[in-house]
């Protein structure tokens, strides 16, 4: 009985092994058959290839039968993954739209075409690649119907034409971004205005310009000089990392913009290049400018009417005319600037340090201003309020003025070459609420004493040099009812 049980167990084991071997052989045969099927289908895939379009987009090709094959879907999926690693179909390289990038051929149309494609794709990127130099004429990258959050990735170099024929009778800007929601210009590239031909006011024959005709070689550039890069009517603007150099006039302008961030920007033009402001703000709110180096022939930063909630920090300025609010109120206009903070700034070899300038006869208000932790080196006049500003020519006297109140100077140190403090306020509307705290300024060579006229406020600490001309309290005359 025991021997019979053992025989039954052996038979069961043998049967199990045979069944396992048969099952494995059947699966292997099916797998080989499947490979032959796949091979036959792959042979037909050549007729259903992926078609690649400019800008990285793709469409599925049809098979001979007119249907999209399953392999097309798989191929498209793999292609999409490959594109996604490069930013997907939202990347539009200007080279793919016909740009030459040799610094001689006119690439304006290619840039415009790349922008038009990017405009229709949300979170898209226009790519200006490194290693190329693009000659681009006056151009506007316009909304308001573009998708939001477009990135202009500038890693190459864009240069302006020097031929008069490219500018007509004169334009206010060269490169413009207008009426956009969420626009970023960033990268390691350069915008070069080639402005020397404008500054010198000389004939502009340039043998390297292929677009220069014989007629234009005998002409001069128009008297209206353009801003190199302008943003207008846009919200959520970011400019980061790029260099703007040798602008025809102002380098970077924000007009009627909100939520602006500028960082790691380099601006570079000679100190004697006329009217080449670094950054110009007008009618713009909630602006942050930080960690930037600005060298130009006018104000490093110019803050004009309609600007408020402006925060500037960790900026180097020089050469240039310093950091200025104004000039405001020209031609009897109303001007309003409020809530401006400038701190942790270095100014070297500039005409002014931190300045407020207004024209006689204007109206409006400047209030809530803080200049803090300002380091000056060989600056002509580190602290200035000038309510008698006149930019050349003959200026008329006026009894009205843009009112100035609540201006605070804290921890301003360094060296000056002319006058340490110049506070020239209006006879009819004296400055009020001016405070000076921790001012230590040393003259280099022969220098003037601090000057004050109709300036009222408070010395928080003793100063070097002693500033005895600031009057305490409030002026006897009633303040204007200027409001903003």
CB atoms closer than 10 angstroms to residue 378:
14
Q: Hey, what are 68's tokens?
A: 């999209």
Active-site residue identified among 72, 192, 299, 321: 321
Tens digit of pLDDT at every position of the chain (484 positions): 444 444 444 444 444 444 444 444 434 434 444 433 333 333 332 333 333 333 333 333 333 333 333 333 223 322 333 333 333 459 999 999 999 999 999 999 999 999 999 999 989 999 999 999 999 999 999 999 999 999 999 999 999 999 999 999 999 999 999 999 999 999 999 999 999 999 985 444 344 444 444 444 447 899 999 999 999 999 999 999 999 999 999 999 999 999 999 999 999 999 999 999 999 999 999 999 999 999 999 999 999 999 999 999 999 999 999 999 999 999 999 999 999 999 999 999 999 999 999 999 999 999 999 999 999 999 999 999 999 999 877 888 888 999 999 999 999 999 999 999 999 999 999 999 999 999 999 998 778 999 999 999 999 999 999 999 999 988 865 455 577 8
The structural domains of the chain, with segments of one domain joined by +, span 54-86, 90-459
Quick check: is 321 catalytic? Answer: yes
Q: Hey, what are 419's tokens?
A: 């006058």
Quick check: is 298 catalytic? Answer: yes
As a CATH number, domain 90-459 is 2.160.20.10
Active-site residue identified among 72, 209, 255, 298: 298
- The Cα 287–Cα 289 span in angstroms is 7
Pairing state between β 266-268 and 301-303: unpaired
Q: Length of the chain in residues, anyone? A: 484
Q: What is the CA radius of gyration of the chain?
A: 34
- The Cα 411–Cα 392 span in angstroms is 33
């Amino acid at each position: 009985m025991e021997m019979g049980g053992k025989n039954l167990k052996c038979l069961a084991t043998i049967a199990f092994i045979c069944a396992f071997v048969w099952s494995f052989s059947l699966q292997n045969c099916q797998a080989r058959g499947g490979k032959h099927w796949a091979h036959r289908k792959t042979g037909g895939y050549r007729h259903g290839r992926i078609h690649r379009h400019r800008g990285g987009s793709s469409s599925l090709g049809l098979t001979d039968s007119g249907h999209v094959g399953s392999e097309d879907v798989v191929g498209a999926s793999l292609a999409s993954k490959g594109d996604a690693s490069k930013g997907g179909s939202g990347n539009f390289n200007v080279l793919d739209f016909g740009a030459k990038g040799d610094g001689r051929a006119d690439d304006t149309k290619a840039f415009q075409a790349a922008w038009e494609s990017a405009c229709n794709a949300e979170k898209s990127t226009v790519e200006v690649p490194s290693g190329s130099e693009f000659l681009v004429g006056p151009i506007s990258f316009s909304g308001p119907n573009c998708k939001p959050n477009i990135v202009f990735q500038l890693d190459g170099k864009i240069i302006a034409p020097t031929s008069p024929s490219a500018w007509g009778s004169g334009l206010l800007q060269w490169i413009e971004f207008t009426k956009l929601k969420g626009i970023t210009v960033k990268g390691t590239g350069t915008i070069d205005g080639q402005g020397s031909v404008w500054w010198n006011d000389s004939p502009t024959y340039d043998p390297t310009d292929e677009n220069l005709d014989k007629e234009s070689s005998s002409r001069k550039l128009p008297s209206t000089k353009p801003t190199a890069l302008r943003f207008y009517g846009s919200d959520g603007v970011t400019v980061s990392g790029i260099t703007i150099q040798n602008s025809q006039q102002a380098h970077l302008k924000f007009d009627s913009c909100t939520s602006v961030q500028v960082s790691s920007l380099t601006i570079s033009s000679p100190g004697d290049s006329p009217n080449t402001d670094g950054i110009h703000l007008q009618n713009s709110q909630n602006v942050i400018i930080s960690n930037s180096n600005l060298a130009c022939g006018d104000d490093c930063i110019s803050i004009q009417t309609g600007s408020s909630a402006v925060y500037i920090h960790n900026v180097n300025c020089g050469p240039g005319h310093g950091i200025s609010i104004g000039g405001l109120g020209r031609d009897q206009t109303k001007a309003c600037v409020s809530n401006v903070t400038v701190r942790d700034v270095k100014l070297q070899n500039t005409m002014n340090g931190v300045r407020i300038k207004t024209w006689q006869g204007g109206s409006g208000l400047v209030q809530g201003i803080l200049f803090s932790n300002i380091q000056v080196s060989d600056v002509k006049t580190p602290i200035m309020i000038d309510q008698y500003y006149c930019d050349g020519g003959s200026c008329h006297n006026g009894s009205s003025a843009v009112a100035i109140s609540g201006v605070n100077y804290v921890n301003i140190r360094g060296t000056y070459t002319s006058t340490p403090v110049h506070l020239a306020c209006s006879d009819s509307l004296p400055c009020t609420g001016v405070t000076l705290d921790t001012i230590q300024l040393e003259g280099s060579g022969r220098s003037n004493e601090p000057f004050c006229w109709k300036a009222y406020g408070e010395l928080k600490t003793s100063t070097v040099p002693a500033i005895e001309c600031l009057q305490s309290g409030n002026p006897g005359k009633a303040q204007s009812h200027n409001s903003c």
